[in-house]
Amino acid sequence: MSYAVKEMFLTLQGEGVHAGRRAVFLRFAGCNLWSGREQDRASAVCRFCDTDFVGTDGDGGGRFADADGLADAALAFWGEGREGRYVVLTGGEPMLQIDDALVDALHARGFAIAVESNGTIAAHPGLDWICISPKAGSEVVQRSGNELKLVWPQPGQGHSLTDVEDMEGWVFDHLLVQPLDDPKAAENAQAAVDLVMDRPRWRLSLQSHKYLGLR
């Protein structure tokens, strides 16, 4: 199988439980909830995505013919030293492309593998860290993992507090709420704080990479 990668780079994880951790970010092209084209945003299931995942023209991106070639590219971004190797598979929707061969190739090179997914496709069982960010209007099938990261509030109908209560019955180690980054950022941040104050099982997650000027 070949892999379409929008971009790949070395950075610090900016959000969630592993915020501040050194990581290779591997962003796959394509998503099943939005085409990535602005003309389709209004009719998409996910309308608030702030990421460019169209094509393979980003830094470190390209079409990789096989899993070994892609894993070698990730290793080249990490550089010397085996300790702490960590790769984050994101998108778009990474589960459209993650397969046995890629998981095995990354593990063979000493990487712990994290995924950031919308949860509409079951996660590969070989992944080491599963972060699910559910999108209102989609059917989440991956209801277990390490980290549930809810963007709050979401545009349009969004998720209700009843939805939040239902999510609390899913099997995740960590429940995180992250303010939606849009022109109402201050209001959204307060809404996220209010949710955490009212429901103490949840923790606040911030996109620290944006404050630090990281990718």
166: Cβ contacts below 8 Å, ≥ 6 apart: none
> Is residue 53 a contact partner of residue 25, using CB atoms and an 8 Å limit?
no
150-to-65, 77, 117, 141, 170 alpha-carbon distances in Å: 34, 29, 12, 15, 13
Q: Which of 9, 11, 51, 163 is catalytic?
A: 51
Instruction: DSSP letter for 83, please.
Output: T
Q: Which of 7, 15, 18, 25 is catalytic?
A: 25
Q: Which of 50, 80, 83, 139 is catalytic?
A: 50
Beta bridge partners of 129: 114
- 3 state DSSP class of 122: coil
Q: Which of 7, 15, 18, 31 is catalytic?
A: 31
Known catalytic residue at 49: yes
d(CA 105, CA 102): 5
Known catalytic residue at 51: yes
Q: Which of 28, 116, 159, 172 is catalytic?
A: 116
Known catalytic residue at 116: yes
46: Cβ contacts below 8 Å, ≥ 6 apart: 31, 33, 34, 118, 135, 137, 138
Known catalytic residue at 131: no
Q: Which of 18, 28, 49, 111 is catalytic?
A: 49
Known catalytic residue at 120: no
Run of H or E residues at 178: strand 171-179
Known catalytic residue at 46: yes
Q: Which of 46, 53, 120, 147 is catalytic?
A: 46
Known catalytic residue at 11: no
Residues labelled catalytic: 25, 31, 46, 49-51, 116, 209
